[in-house]
Amino acid sequence: MIRFFLRHPTSANLMMAIFMILGMMALPELRRETFVDFLPKRVSVTVAYPGATADEVDESVVQLVEDAISSVRYVREVRSESRDGLGIVTAEMEPDWDSSVFLNDIKTEVEAIDDLPEDAEKPVVRLLGQTKPVVSLAVTGPMEPSVLRAYSRRIRDEIRALPGVSQAQLSGFSDRQYQVMVSLPLLRQHGLTVGDVVRSVGSQNVDLPVGFIESSARKISLRVAERRRSKEALDSMVISEGPDGGRILLGDVADVLDDFEVEEDKILFDGERAAFIVVSKTDTEDSLRVLDEIKGYLKGKTPQLPPGVSISLTDDYTTIVRDRLDMLLKNGFQGFLLVFTTLFLFFNGRYSLWVAMGLPVSFLGALFLFPILGQTLNMVSMVALLMGLGLVMDDAIVISENIAKHLAMGKRPLDAAADGLKEVWTGVLSSFLTTAAVFVPLLTIQGQMGRVFQPIPVVLLSVLAVSLVEAFFILPHHLAHSKDRVGFTDKYREKVNLGMVYVRDRWVMRVVDRAVDNRYWTLGLTVFLLLGSLALVIGGVVKVQAFADMDGDVLEARITMPQGTSLSQTEMAVDFIVEASKSMDLSDMVTHRAVEYGIHRGLDERGSHVATVKVNLIPADKRGFTVDQLVDSWSSAVGQIPGVLSLTFAEPTLGPQGRAIEIRLKGADLGRLKDASIDLRRWLEGIRGVRDLDDDMKPGRPEIVLKPLPGVLAMGLPSGEIARQVRRAFYGEVVDSFQVGAEGFEVNVKLSDKDVEDVRSLMDLPVALPGGADAPLGSLVSLEYERPWSRIHRLNGVKTVTVVGDVNTALGNTADILTYMRQIYLPEFERKYPDLSMTLDGEAGEMGETQASMKRALLLGVLGIFVLLCFQFRSYIEPLVVLLAIPFAFIGVISGALIMNIPLSMPGIMGFVSLAGVVVNNSILLVEFIRMGMEQGLSVVQAAKGASGDRFRAIFLTTMTTVAGMVPLMFERNLQAQVLIPLAVSVVFGLIGATLLVLVVLPSLYAIMDDRGWVRPIEK
């Protein structure tokens, strides 16, 4: 097969062309994103229970739903949240199961619930995480909010019609509602009750088909059409008519207001009322293509906008994607130049070109496989390609070096290529298999961070598989037909090679000779270095961090006021925060400011007492400062705001590591849980670097509980009837809903605000009695004052409170803080709260899960390498010497983190684990050469010393090409690269450390094995 490709004039070029054409055809269709979808699949069950407290929702709704879905297969975790009027139960699916089956199973169980409260609405079951935000469009203009909403709906519909854009949602407004505000004095004047108005409006406001008139000739539909669809029509509705013909119109006893259902559901953009059109993408769409469609639409739409109306792009998440991918593309090009330059120093131009051609062939071949394997162009897959720059060269350098050696013997080019490849093909294949033995188990890494890094083994296995084919069938053909050129470059290259020989003979061999001669000292020093590296981590000199901070282009200030705070009071606090963002030191870096009232984005809490202030920033690579610095500047400008429960600053999206601090407290007593969360927060506030602490358990609105007095039931007035009448008066009752074009409307009847403004009006409320009389509510009930919790959380059925916070990495380290907390605070917590338990989630939880699966993957990889080497070396001892290259790499990884002054993060650990299959390759070849020297009659010591010299050039080249591919990223100063620099540092320093120690220590270990009689004798 090899000789066929060597002799055939077109086969090798055709194969190369096929790989490249397939890759270039696939490239335009690849999706681009920052990370793969790392969030687990979750299904939410949402049940609205209007007017109910969090306690009532928890007992009457949430626990029923939890019980129903507990029997569903593949449920990993169930979280629930009960809040005023709403219950949400979220089930997380075990990895690698069918989400559609999971969704249908939960739907089936939820639909079987038959004992939900009568007033509870139908449960809504949906699969979460199906879309990701791309960009938002802020529509502003000098018009009434209702007109702005209608105009923005048309813009949204036009955007949805764009090719490639399937998801666009309008926000900034609640549903339209005709609010029938009934006057209590006017009702009394006409002898009516709120219930009379409700029944009259509900029964008369109809549009209903009632049958047909059918004859042999035709069929005519019958309809009662009396639905009132405007304020004027509702005002003129007759709600009562006397026998004398006297009429009472709705407008006689009520004011009809055309307004939005929820007052606080609004957005301000740069100080103006705005509609936000949030454009998202599905998992099959490319965010950058979606943005291009939006920009093209705005280019044509802007000249057509009415005077004063503007549409601005904001919350652009694609800028980060484009900037990060462009940065990695630049690093990749620089790495390719460095790799080619390294090759050019040792081979002539044409020879170097054919060796380097393995890169585009392998990469394009792998890119063709991306859609088949479900891969996208993201930060991690691009870094995997950067790692592949050097790894692809390993096989090519080994083969080309050996072919060059046979050419130097005077053989014909075809014979030299065939003999050179035949001599090393088993070693090259073994190197691929050992590398694959490590990468394949990495596919099983768990956790959100594990899913982020899964593209690394997939991409590298794809690249290396294609490069193996290229190295066996394409490269030898080109080298066999490559003609040497004579000239200045050859003379220059000869000097480089002489310099390499000088370094090898004068430095490397001297060190190796001394190391082997003093092999036990060498072993002891190596063990000392390994233990010292571990001590640097354990002792905290080299910090441990889940993920380096990744700065985005949006920062949020999230404000929480006490429950029951009016919108006007919240607006005053928000205005102060917005003004602080204008006066802070770094205010010139802000492009837009937006305020979302009625929602706390961090805790997903809603109401007039919460709001989120967002600032859009110039791109990170142009700012020259970190988000942490901006937070410090903004928070300093804000200071303390009276009446604010909490104010936290955060980016709107979290990386796969989650929150820096996320601690769950579990127990049965909500009061005890709240006390414990306050204690924990106070303790954490004293730790340097900890900021923005908050918890998800807040007091609810003050509550008045109505208790029927003795004897009320005997009057024929059950508690339920009292509740219905009071609810109609204070909460209102929706009596109709209809569409006007694309706009949905509801008609809600309730007492006017001035009639329900205090406790006295509550006590004076007339309650209709059986028989037609009425009595003031105060004569029927007693009042009790309470303040329930605004939200109740459960995790797998157990009540929980979660304490969250962030860490300024310039002042503190999350791992150190949590370790210190476990050592100092946890014992005190367990003594004080024996009935509660504490678990770590967020960064610590994710890191623990991913680290555990990484350890398993590494052990499986090492086991796989050991089995392969046992077959190759026919020994159980010699493979152990080869595997020692892995701890050698760890020494380099820790040294790199110390030298570069960066923490040991999960990307760095992933880089080390990925190196395990790479660093052993040099060890394999070194042991092979030791065995070859022994076959030639040398002693083990002589063969061990000579092998390092014989393999020095090849090992140096393979190491330098891999290092050259990663060096540009390692020295990248762009803030967007900070998360990936630890991976590059681990690869570069780990490979350099392993290479140096393999050349020096492995021969010494082999000599020690010979001292012990563990070396397998050469078979004659």
Q: What are 18-42's pLDDT values in tens digits?
A: 999 999 999 888 888 877 877 788 9
Report domain extents, the chain.
1-30+347-481+511-546+847-1012, 40-128, 130-205+238-318+719-776, 551-654
pLDDT, mean of residues 376-402: 80
Return the beta strands (E) in 780-931 as ranges.
781-786, 791-795, 798-807, 837-840, 904-905
Which ranges in 686-825 belong to alpha helices (H)?
A: 719-730, 759-763, 814-820
Task: Tell me how crowded residue 739 is: count the other CB atoms within 10 A of its CB.
Answer: 9
Q: How far apart are CA 289 and CA 278, in angstroms?
A: 16
CA-based nearest residue to 344, from 461, 493, 215 = 493
pLDDT tens, residue by residue, 109-131: 999 998 898 888 999 999 988 88
Looking at residue 815, its pLDDT comes to 86
Which structure tokens are listed for 268?
Answer: 């301000």
Three-class DSSP category at 179 = strand
Query: What is the structure's pLDDT at 379?
Result: 80
Helix, strand or coil for residue 617? strand
Q: What is the dihedral of CA 472, 477, 483, 489, to 10 degrees?
A: -30
Q: Which of 270, 273, 197, 202 shows the shortest CA–CA distance to 239? A: 197
- Asked whether the beta carbons of 459 and 385 are under 8 A apart, the reply is yes
Report angle CA 918, 920, 924 to the nearest 5 degrees: 125
Q: CB-based burial of residue 276 (10 Å sphere; 0-12 exposed, 13-18 middle, 19+ buried)?
A: buried
pLDDT tens-place string over residues 610-657: 999 999 888 777 777 778 888 888 888 888 888 888 888 888 765 677
CA dist list (Å): 874 to 3, 437, 1016: 30, 18, 8
Cα gap 432→461, rounded to integer Å: 9
Assign 976 a pLDDT band (cuts: 50, 70, 90). low
pLDDT at 654: 58
pLDDT-derived band at 91, boundaries 50, 70, 90: very high
Q: Which fold, 1-30+347-481+511-546+847-1012?
A: Multidrug efflux transporter AcrB transmembrane fold (1.20.1640)
Amino acid at 442: L
Q: Using 50, 70 and 90 to split pLDDT, how confident is the model at 485?
A: very low
- Residue 883's CB is within 10 A of a number of other CB atoms, namely 19
**The pTM is what?**
0.79
Indicate the pLDDT class of residue 309, thresholds 50, 70 and 90. Answer: very high
Confidence band, pLDDT 50/70/90 cuts, at residue 487: very low
- The mean pLDDT value for 227-238 works out to 86
Which residue, among 956, 949, 948, has the nearest Cα to 1004 in the 3D structure?
948
Higher pLDDT, 943 or 483: 943
List the single range of 445-449, 518-522, 944-948, 973-977 with lowest mean pLDDT: 973-977
Among 22-36, 907-921, 968-982, top mean pLDDT goes to 22-36
Give the pLDDT band of residue 103 (cuts 50, 70, 90).
Answer: very high
Provide the angle, in degrees to the nearest 10, between the axes of the packed helices 519-538 and 885-900. 50
Q: How many CA atoms lie within 13 A of 156 on its CB side?
A: 21
- Domains 1-30+347-481+511-546+847-1012 and 40-128 agree in fold: no
Q: Is 123 helix (H, G, I), strand (E, B) or coil?
A: coil
803 within 8 A of 681, measured Cβ to Cβ: yes
Report yes or no: 920 and 394 within 8 Å, Cβ to Cβ.
Answer: no
Mention the CATH class of domain 130-205+238-318+719-776: alpha beta
| Long-range pairs of 720-727 with CB within 8 A, sequence gap ≥ 24 | 722/767, 722/777, 722/780, 722/781, 725/193, 725/194, 725/195, 725/765, 725/767, 725/768, 726/762, 726/765, 726/767, 726/777, 727/51
Contacts of 503 (CB under 8 A, 6+ apart): none
- Percent of the chain's residues with pLDDT above 90: 27
Topology of domain 40-128 in CATH is: Alpha-Beta Plaits (3.30.70)
Pairing of strands 131-140, 743-751: unpaired
Total Cβ atoms within 10 A of residue 511: 14
d(CA 512, CA 510): 5
Contact (CB, 8 A) for 700 and 52: no
Q: What's the 3-state SS for 322-345?
A: HHHHHHHHHHHHHHHHHHHHHHHC
- Any long-range contacts for 95-101 (C-beta under 8 Å, 24+ apart)? 95/40, 95/446, 97/41, 99/41, 99/43, 99/127, 100/127
The CATH-assigned architecture of domain 551-654 is 2-Layer Sandwich (3.30)
